[in-house]
Structure 1
Amino acid sequence: MTKQAKHTRTIELPEIPQEVAEVIEGLRSYSYSDPEIAFKTPKISYVVRDYVEESKENASSFIIAAMHGYTVEKSPEERLREYYERGREEAEESYYSGHSHLSVYADGRAKGAKDAATILGITVPGVNAPEDDGKIAEALADSLDEDDEEWTPWEA
């Protein structure tokens, strides 16, 4: 009697750029198989070709992403927002736990993230601009009178 050994291996899902993920999902929507995506896409997509040719690690990441799944890299704005929020949370926690010196430090980190966004000329909702969760547009739409067809945004 022969026993078959089962070998399992855990694969960590790679983190790939949003543009590469969009190519993978676009091809899946056209019923491309995972192997087709993994091995044909670098020949037909400039975005994927550039990514794969950047490094061996990117090439491996792309194949694993196409065959097994992936996570999407956070944008610089998302990373800055997380850094800002973490600083604000740490400042608040430190303040209420009686560690005012740590609160000042953490608050300074959050302010630095906000200043960096402003200096770089980027707008990051939740950091140097209000969070727009759709409520602003909804409130604006609700405030308009349906009979007022002549309204334009510059008249507000």
Structure 2
Amino acid sequence: MGAAYSYFFETASENATFENTTTSAPAPTQTSSNATAEDSTVSTQAPTQPVESGYDNTFAPDTWHSSPNSSFEEEDVDKRNIIVKSNGKSQQVDVFPDEKMSVLKKEACELFQKKEQWMKIVYKGEELDINKTIRECHLRAGSTVNLIRAA
């Protein structure tokens, strides 16, 4: 344990002391295969160094038990600029990744002064579902979509 601990945490000296370490001797029932956790009590604490050496693990982060979806992850909250083309003209529309395609369609129709019910959005040759989000349609910043008249 000491080698693994010193690998992850800086220690002040080679002779770390363990305080409040209690280990009970194994009872004869513990040597059998049906031993339970209630049969023995082992409590260990991490080695502590004097505070004046600069090492104090009182407020050390718990890196072993943090979830992969912790609050330290960066969320994609920035707007993405999507380039919309219609009738040979281009306009940029800024939308959040979790907004519906209907928001992009509405803003694009306002920019090009088109009626929303007559238009559809096409990306890479396929009409995009207006009920999906920008992220679900795999639109990244700088992606180009076409606003065309629905047939």
**Greater share of residues in helix:** 1
In proportion to residue count, which structure has more strand?
2
Who wins on radius of gyration, i.e. which is larger? Answer: 2
**What TM-score do you get using the length of structure 2 for normalisation?**
0.19
